[in-house]
Amino acid sequence: MNAMHNHRQETHIAAPGPCPTVTTARLTLRPHRMSDADAIARSLGDFEVSRMLARAPAPYDRQDAAEWLSGATSGLEEGWAFAITTGDDEHIGCVAFEWRGDAWHLGYWLNRSHWRQGYMTEAVRAATARFLTRMPGTEIHSGVFADNPASLRVQKKTGFRITGCSDLYCVARGAMVPHIETRLEPGDFRPAASRQ
């Protein structure tokens, strides 16, 4: 009983507070709204995107997006889920920090029409910088499926290091998939842009 109480208390103390809005040179990262459901459904309805995520089903439709948004916009979540938007407030992806198990985990995805433009690196760096401002000294865990080298490059540019390999179930693929585990240690964060 005491161990459970202490774990809850520790989790509560470790929360970063409400999701803020962060701007970069090309993007605005903002809290999600229920009106983002159609854009999320379009992005994650693309199997090339959903197959790289562990928990997104395929096919992915508007109802799936609305159900996820009801939790993300409730204010009850411990972490942050940023909507990645362009100048016209077009929702093109997500960067999220989620408390899972006993650690913070980073996850993200981007609409395929915006791949290979440096948006994901820009968004992950900006979101991580803000998260670490609120939660200094925090270790952040993440990972990528082994067949997603572009996502691994985003993490390496941000300062994440490979810590291991395992098999992780991918709902969209309906199979166990080799997964590269990564971690950002305190002090390893790289906010500055690097040459590609």
Which domains are present in the chain?
A: 2-138 (3.40.630.30)
Share above pLDDT 90 across residues of the chain, in percent, rounded to a whole number: 81
- The predicted model gives 109-126 an average pLDDT of 97
Residue 88 confidence (pLDDT): 87
CB 121 within 8 A of CB 105: no
Residue 192 confidence (pLDDT): 65
- Tell whether the model's pLDDT for residue 162 goes beyond 50: yes
Per-residue pLDDT band at 14 (split at 50, 70, 90) = low
Strands 140-145 and 103-110: parallel
The span from the CA of 34 to the CA of 134, in Å, is 26
Handedness of CA 149, 124, 43, 196 (dihedral sign): negative
The secondary structure of 7-55 as a DSSP string is HHHHHHHT---S---EE-SS-EEEE--GGGHHHHHHHHTSHHHHTTSSS
- Tell whether the model's pLDDT for residue 104 goes beyond 60: yes
Local structure of residue 112 (DSSP, 8 states): G
Per-residue pLDDT band at 75 (split at 50, 70, 90) = confident
pLDDT in tens, 18-58: 999 999 999 999 999 999 999 999 999 999 999 999 999 99
Residue 171 confidence (pLDDT): 97
